[in-house]
Amino acid sequence: MVTPFLPASVKALTEPESIHAVQSIRRCAVTTPLSPIPIQTAYVQQGQGETPILLLHGFDSSLLEFRYLLPRLATQAETWSVDLLGFGFTDRPSGIAFSPRTIQSHLYEFWKTMIGRPVVLVGASMGGAAAIAFALAYPSLVERLVLIDSLGYTVAPPLVKFLFPPLDYWAVEYLRQRKLKALELSMALGSEAKVIDLIRCSLLHTEMAGWHEATISFTKSGGYDFLADQICKIRQPTLILWGESDDVLGTADALRFRQDIPNNQLVWIRDCKHVPHIEQPEVTARHILSVEPI
């Protein structure tokens, strides 16, 4: 069964985890101060438990990046993933400036509408920055913080803010074209199905209405370039999970988080690059579910 709001290309997925993930996606109407109409917000919820876990995905991505991790967490905990405003399969209403501020406002209203209890907040890459900002703004709503190869110190190049049409459109379209070329090459070379599905999952959300405009808007906002000086104010116990061979952010930021966050534990994920939740989901889930005190 294909969920009606998803692109028809979901039918090309072949891996069981990918198929199950897209079949699990639901949308709820979230009322926010950002739009006169409720925002149809994509999410997945599985499992039961006392303290919910909420997963936040990275830049130009969707909740599908948690297709391996979420079911493993859900064996022991009530687990949610949500598509942040401007990303994934959540609607992108016209008239909204997509930015960290609007992402946070929408995320709060989603939490209030669907969860309503303190959570373990897990953020990967840009989702880590969104998790930090949320934990600082609403400390009573976040029981524990988990950062997976998180942004927080890295900022976008200053010139990005000043791109104008059509250069801004071409810049974000370049992101999509790189993935399309990778898909074409993988298929031509007869790559294994898991690799092809990985690329397909990373492309699906780019077919959603408003993807170009929302990506341009968020990029021009400067993203989370304001966050570095705030990280030392985190008060929640924080687990830092980091791929020991991160090929996107490197490893220096892991040590900065370790130094700046008062109450934390740093765990290196072996044989892993930037996305432990995809490369090593069993190990990642085990650390998130650990009840050992930080």
Tens-place pLDDT, residues 189-233: 777 888 899 999 999 999 999 999 999 999 999 999 999 999 999
pLDDT of residue 2: 58
| C-alpha Rg value of the chain to the nearest Å | 18
Distances (CA, A) of 109 to 89, 115, 134, 177: 17, 10, 12, 34
Residue 171 tokens read as 């810049």
Is residue 119's pLDDT more than 80? Answer: yes
156 burial type by CB count under 10 A (0-12 exposed, 13-18 middle, 19+ buried): middle
pLDDT of residue 62: 97
Average pLDDT over residues 178-192: 83
Strand duo 79-82 + 53-56: pairing: parallel
Residues pairing with 121 in the sheet: 54, 145
Distances (CA, A) of 259 to 21, 149, 215, 229: 36, 15, 32, 13
Asked whether 104 and 130 are in contact (CB, 8 A), the reply is yes
pTM: 0.94
Identify residue 45 by its one-letter amino acid code: Q
pLDDT of residue 157: 56
Residue 91 tokens read as 């609607």
Asked whether 57 and 65 are in contact (CB, 8 A), the reply is yes
pLDDT of residue 156: 62
pLDDT of residue 294: 47
- Ranges of H-type helices in 25-166: 69-73, 100-110, 126-137
Is residue 3's pLDDT more than 90? Answer: no
What is the per-residue pLDDT across 250-292, written as a single tens digit (0 to 9) for each? 999 999 999 999 999 999 999 999 999 999 999 999 999 986 5
Residue with tokens 């009530």: 78
| DSSP H or E run through 40 | strand 39-46
Q: What distance in Å separates the CA atoms of residue 202 and residue 108, rounded to the nearest whole number? A: 25
pLDDT more than 70, % of the chain? 94
In the chain, what is the straight-line distance between the N-terminal and C-terminal CA atoms, in Å?
Answer: 42
**Residue ranges of domains in the chain, CATH in brackets:** 8-289 (3.40.50.1820)
Average pLDDT over residues 112-134: 98
Is residue 91's pLDDT more than 50? Answer: yes
Average pLDDT over residues 47-71: 97
pLDDT of residue 162: 60
**In the chain, how long is the greatest CA-to-CA distance?**
52
Structure-model confidence comparison of residues 167 and 110, the more confident one? 110
- Beta-carbon neighbour count of residue 145 at 10 Å? 28
Identify residue 212 by its one-letter amino acid code: H
Distances (CA, A) of 171 to 30, 167, 212, 216: 31, 6, 10, 8
pLDDT of residue 1: 52
Reduced to 3 states (helix: H, G, I; strand: E, B; else coil), residue 79 is strand
Confidence of residue 234 (pLDDT cuts 50, 70, 90): very high
pLDDT of residue 293: 46
Is residue 55's pLDDT more than 50? Answer: yes
Q: What distance in Å separates the CA atoms of residue 182 and residue 176, rounded to the nearest whole number? A: 10
Residue 235 tokens read as 């008060």
